Structures are given as C-alpha cells and as structure tokens.
Amino acid sequence: MTKNKNNKAIWSTRIKSGTSTIFQRVGSSVDIDKRLYKEDLDGSVAHVEMLFKQKIISFKIKNKIIYGLKKIEKEISYKKFKFNKLYEDIHMNIEKRLFEIIGEEAGFIHTARSRNDQVITDLKIWLRSATKEIDISLDKIIKNILNLAEKNIFTIMPGFTHLKNAQAVSFAHYLMAYVEMFNRDKKRFNYNLDSLNENPLGVAALSGTSFNIDRNYTTKKLGFKKPTNNSIDTVSDRDFVLDFLYAISVCSMHISRIAEELIIWNSDAFNLINLSDKIVTGSSIMPQKKNPDLLEYLRGKSGITYGNLFSMLTILKSLPLSYFKDLQDDKEIVFKSNDTLLGCLKIFEEVLKNFTPNKKQMLKLASSGYITATDLADYLVKNHSMSFRKAYQKTADIVNLAEKNKINLEQLTLQDLKKIEPKLTNEVLKVFDLKNSINSKKSYGGTSFDNIKKMIIKYKKQK
Ligand code: ARG
C-alpha cells in the first residue's frame, strides 16, 4: 500500500497530540472486523448507488468509487491488501485504500453515513449468512439423528428420570427428542433473522441526515425488509447480537446434554453404547483406556458460548444511548460463538456416525428396576375398576414383594400376585413384557413403535 498524504487515522484531523500507541493497539479492531470486508463493500456499493440516484453525487464519482471498491474486493480476496492497525477498523482501512486508488473523490463515499450505521449494517448482513450456515449444519445433524433413529425403532432401552430406570422406551424415541430440540434451535435462529431484517443504513451517527437519502432503496438493494424506525435506537441496538448469542447458547446446551448422555452411557458402569475408535483417545499412562474426549469437548463448549452471551449482556447493561466504543467488542464475541458452534456441530455429526447402541445391555438394563410397575398400575385401573391411587398402592405392594424375594416383576408367579390382588388372572402377565409396555404408549407423542415410525416419516418428508 502506498503511503497516504499523512499516514494518520482519518478522524485525527482535530486530534493534535496523536493517540498514544497503547490506545492505538487496543482501540484497533481491524484484526477482527476485517472478516466483514465483503459485507462492508456491498453496503458501500448500495450506499453510493443510492447517493447517485438521489443526485447527491455525480454519475462519474459513483462509478469511480464503485471501481475502487471492486478493486479493493479483489485485493482482499487475493490476500494482497495490507490491513493497517493505525486505521482502526475495516471501514477506515477500506476508505483509506479508496483514497489511494481513486484520489480525493473517495471523500464522497462517507456522505450521509457514519461508521455507527455502517458497522451494524455489515454485522447484520454477516449474521444472515452465518445463520444460513448454522441452519445447514443443523439440518445435517437432524438427518443423521433420523437415520440412526430409523435403525433403532425396536431397540429397547430404559427411559430414565433422576437417572434411575423409569419406563421402557425405544432408543429411537430417545433420539427423536433431540430432533425436537434441534428443530427448535432452527426456529430460534430464524426468528432472529426476521427481527434483524431492518436496515440500519442511513441513520448516520445517531440523528439521521439532512441529505435527501432514500433508505428504502438501500433496504431493497441489501435485502432487508424495511428501514429501522428510530435513528438513536438503531445505533444503540445490539439486541440482534444478543438473540444470536442466545440461540447459539441454547443450541450448544442441547449438544452438551446429548454429549453428557453419551458419556454416561459409554461409561463402564452403564455400557449402553460403543464409540468407534475414530472418536476416542487414549491415555498416556493407562494402556487400556479409550476416552470419550470429543464428547467432553462438546459438553464443555457450552461454557464458552454462555460466557460470550454474558459478556455481551454485561457490555450492554446500563450503557446509555447511543454509540460507545464498548460496543466494538460485539463482533469478536459473535465470531467466537459462531465458530465455536460450527465446530461443535461438525464434531457432533462425526459422533453421530461413530457410535452404536449396545442393544443387549440396553435391554438388560431395561429389564431391571421394576420398570413395568406403571404398566401394572394402569392395568389394574383398566381391568379391575380401581382408582389410579388404589392401583398405585397395590403395585407398590407387588414391587415390595418382588424386592423382598430378590426377583424382577416378570418373575413373580400368578400365585404371588394374587396374594396382593386376588382378582388377577393370567392375562396380567403380559404387562411385564417390555415390547407390550412400549407399544401401549400410543398417546400422541408417546413411545409406541407406530408413533415413532410415523414421526420419522413426517420429519424425513420435511427435508
Ligand atoms: N469499529 C467501530 C465498532 O465496531 C465502528 C464504529 C466506530 N464509531 C465511532 N464513533 N468510533 O464499533
């Protein structure tokens, strides 16, 4: 890059003593916000086209500026552009370079605009494409879970509450719970797209502009729905950043929950799943070990994304209107959360392809812990006209009897059962069958095999 007339920040015209080098170092954000260069250039092109349409700048100047901006785009994409920390951020780096390429007429580009509206325009446009990328990754995750679920409709496992055996469920049903979560994540990200779809460009520093600009024109050009309504709110607002960070936090929380489940199920104590060698690591001292490090990585990352959300909330707390330098950190936080989540989604996709349920052990565990007790209580209500509370009491007595004899419910004989409820017949024994138990949960959203099949078909059709 050739030297500018004076190698100084643009705003330094009235600041005589020169900024201290330490402030130059901490105040510069170009290392981070250069990631917005494409969005910044697009925003500038739309802006100068609007300025020309409104007869604020001439045809010749507009073309010159656009020529310069296109050249800068090439330089940056071919890594030929020298970013200079002295020019603070991506906006000033581009403007400085524009001066070098087209000369003094570059000065028209910043008519009726401020970096305050420019930076949010860039960030909003960037968030749109980032959200699309996350959405695509979430679709892949959902597809992988559906495939796994499809193969495991008849895989029986214990459903837990308090991590104690509760009721038998299909492993597919368990997996499909996560499809619900990731679908809600998709919605959450898309709500945010909708609410950030207002064009900030043209509110300038904070109060609007005396130039006769057309904000509807740039709105259309940049793919927004409408211009923002209040110039002060516009430059102060980072709600769309919070919403994005929150959506990321919730999504990474979902990943951390399934990661934790898989870690527990992979433990030697549970042994409900096997992880392939692709997703485990060894120990430097214990030769026998295969550790679920990747799952632990996924579980831990939610700590980072929550931290980022809290950083931004804290930056915004009590911040008066309108623009303050405090806000500059929003981009670093957003990029970090975005990259963390995308990384987690990629790893999680690998995990989904690299573990298998240990069906025998799942069934064995599901056969313990008196897991069909609720089925027995329901049976008593339906067939022996008892209230549920009465049936609950009788069933508890039956469980106590099994516990006393150190056997499972299905090992009790009809004679044993009749000691507690004389009216019982042979028919009762079918309630202890796990398949019957699962298949009886036909209420909408329940774990019956038919329900799951239908749900998988429904979600597969949506893709
Ligand atoms: N780099 C700045 C930021 O990201 C751009 C806005 C600067 N505005 C200002 N008045 N200093 O926040």
Using one digit for the tens of pLDDT, what is the confidence trace for 411-458? 999 999 999 989 999 999 999 999 999 999 999 999 999 999 999 999
Residue 282: its pLDDT value, please?
Answer: 75
CB 152 within 8 A of CB 175: yes
CATH code for the domain in which residue 16 is found: 1.10.275.10
Q: Is 256 a catalytic residue?
A: no
Residues 387, 385: Cα–Cα separation, whole Å: 7
Co-location of 178 and 287 in the same domain: yes
CATH code for the domain in which residue 426 is found: 1.10.40.30
Percent of the chain with pLDDT over 90: 85
Residue 2: its pLDDT value, please?
Answer: 39
Residues 211, 317: Cα–Cα separation, whole Å: 33
Q: What is the model's pTM?
A: 0.92
Tell which residue, 241, 238, 129, 246, has the closest CA to residue 188.
Answer: 246
Co-location of 375 and 349 in the same domain: no
Any idea which residue has 């190698």 for tokens? Answer: 7
Co-location of 345 and 420 in the same domain: no
Pocket test for ligand 1, best of 29, 85, 116 (most atoms within 8 A of CB): 116
Cα(328) to centroid of ligand 1, in Å? 6
Residues 439, 375: Cα–Cα separation, whole Å: 11
Tell which residue, 393, 391, 293, has the closest CA to residue 351.
Answer: 293
Ligand 1 within 6 A of 89 CB?
yes
CB 204 within 8 A of CB 40: no
Co-location of 273 and 375 in the same domain: no
Considering 349, 364, 379, which residue would you say is the last residue of a domain? 364
Q: Does residue 220 belong to any structural domain of this protein?
A: no
DSSP 74-124: HHHHTT-----GGG-SHHHHHHHHHHHHHGGGGGGTTTT--HHHHHHHHHH
Co-location of 59 and 185 in the same domain: no
Co-location of 357 and 382 in the same domain: no
Q: Is the pLDDT of residue 255 over 60?
A: yes
Pocket test for ligand 1, best of 85, 328, 332 (most atoms within 8 A of CB): 328
Query: Among the atoms of ligand 1, which is closest to the Cα of residue 330?
Result: 4
Considering 58, 83, 111, which residue would you say is the last residue of a domain? 111
**Residue 24 exposure: Cα atoms within 13 Å on the Cβ side:** 12
Q: Is 110 a catalytic residue?
A: no
Residues 73, 88: Cα–Cα separation, whole Å: 19
Pocket test for ligand 1, best of 34, 325, 326, 335 (most atoms within 8 A of CB): 325
Q: Does residue 216 belong to any structural domain of this protein?
A: no
Residue 184 amino acid letter: R
| Backbone phi, psi, residue 80, to 5° | -105, 0
**Residue 142 exposure: Cα atoms within 13 Å on the Cβ side:** 24
Residues 183, 393: Cα–Cα separation, whole Å: 40
Q: Which domain holds residue 186?
A: 117-211+226-364
- How many domains does the chain contain in total? 3
Averaged pLDDT score across all residues of the chain: 93
Pocket test for ligand 1, best of 30, 33, 87, 115 (most atoms within 8 A of CB): 115
Q: Is the pLDDT of residue 463 over 70?
A: no
Co-location of 136 and 53 in the same domain: no
Strand, helix or coil at 226? strand
pLDDT tens for residues 78-100? 999 999 999 999 999 999 999 99
Residue 158: its pLDDT value, please?
Answer: 94
Q: Does residue 4 belong to any structural domain of this protein?
A: no
Tell which residue, 24, 227, 7, 201, has the closest CA to residue 96.
Answer: 7
Q: Is the pLDDT of residue 5 over 90?
A: no
Q: Does residue 448 belong to any structural domain of this protein?
A: yes
Co-location of 289 and 173 in the same domain: yes
Identify the residue whose C-alpha is closest to ligand 1 atom 2: 328
Tell which residue, 393, 414, 416, has the closest CA to residue 406.
Answer: 416
Residues 241, 112: Cα–Cα separation, whole Å: 25
**Poorest-confidence range of 81-90, 140-149, 159-168, 273-282?**
273-282
CATH code for the domain in which residue 238 is found: 1.20.200.10
CB 51 within 8 A of CB 113: no
Ligand 1 within 6 A of 327 CB?
yes
Co-location of 359 and 403 in the same domain: no
Q: Is the pLDDT of residue 11 over 70?
A: no
Query: Among the atoms of ligand 1, which is closest to the Cα of residue 29?
Result: 1
Co-location of 187 and 152 in the same domain: yes
The one catalytic residue in 162, 210, 284, 318 is 162
Cα(339) to centroid of ligand 1, in Å? 23
Q: Is the pLDDT of residue 236 over 90?
A: yes
Ligand 1 within 6 A of 323 CB?
yes
Residue 1: its pLDDT value, please?
Answer: 38
Q: Does residue 154 belong to any structural domain of this protein?
A: yes
Q: Is the pLDDT of residue 184 over 70?
A: yes
Cα(461) to centroid of ligand 1, in Å? 46
pLDDT tens for residues 363-383? 999 988 888 999 899 999 999
Considering 111, 130, 165, which residue would you say is the last residue of a domain? 111
Residues 54, 212: Cα–Cα separation, whole Å: 7
The one catalytic residue in 267, 283, 368, 387 is 283
Ligand 1 within 6 A of 328 CB?
yes
Any idea which residue has 């329900």 for tokens? Answer: 451
Co-location of 139 and 205 in the same domain: yes
Instruction: Report helix, strand and coil shares of the chain as percent, to nearest 5.
Output: 65, 5, 30
CB 198 within 8 A of CB 227: yes
Query: Among the atoms of ligand 1, which is closest to the Cα of residue 205?
Result: 10
Query: Among the atoms of ligand 1, which is closest to the Cα of residue 114?
Result: 8
> Which segments of 267-329 does DSSP mark as H helices, in order?
293-316
Query: Among the atoms of ligand 1, which is closest to the Cα of residue 327?
Result: 12
Q: Does residue 368 have a cis bond before it (omega within 30 degrees)?
A: no
Q: Band of the pLDDT at 4, cuts 50, 70, 90? A: very low
Ligand 1 within 6 A of 116 CB?
yes
Tell which residue, 284, 267, 266, 264, has the closest CA to residue 275.
Answer: 266
Residue 277: its pLDDT value, please?
Answer: 82
CB 196 within 8 A of CB 247: no
Co-location of 352 and 447 in the same domain: no
Residue 19: its pLDDT value, please?
Answer: 67
Identify the residue whose C-alpha is closest to ligand 1 atom 3: 328
Q: Does residue 221 belong to any structural domain of this protein?
A: no
Ligand 1 within 6 A of 90 CB?
no
Residue 3: its pLDDT value, please?
Answer: 41
Looking at residues 23-52, what average pLDDT do you find?
94
Residue 378: its pLDDT value, please?
Answer: 92
Looking at residues 97-110, what average pLDDT do you find?
97
Q: Does residue 127 belong to any structural domain of this protein?
A: yes
Query: Among the atoms of ligand 1, which is closest to the Cα of residue 331?
Result: 4
Residues 123, 116: Cα–Cα separation, whole Å: 11
Cα(273) to centroid of ligand 1, in Å? 51
Any idea which residue has 């310069």 for tokens? Answer: 68
Q: Does residue 1 belong to any structural domain of this protein?
A: no
Looking at residues 239-245, what average pLDDT do you find?
98
Any idea which residue has 């989904």 for tokens? Answer: 352
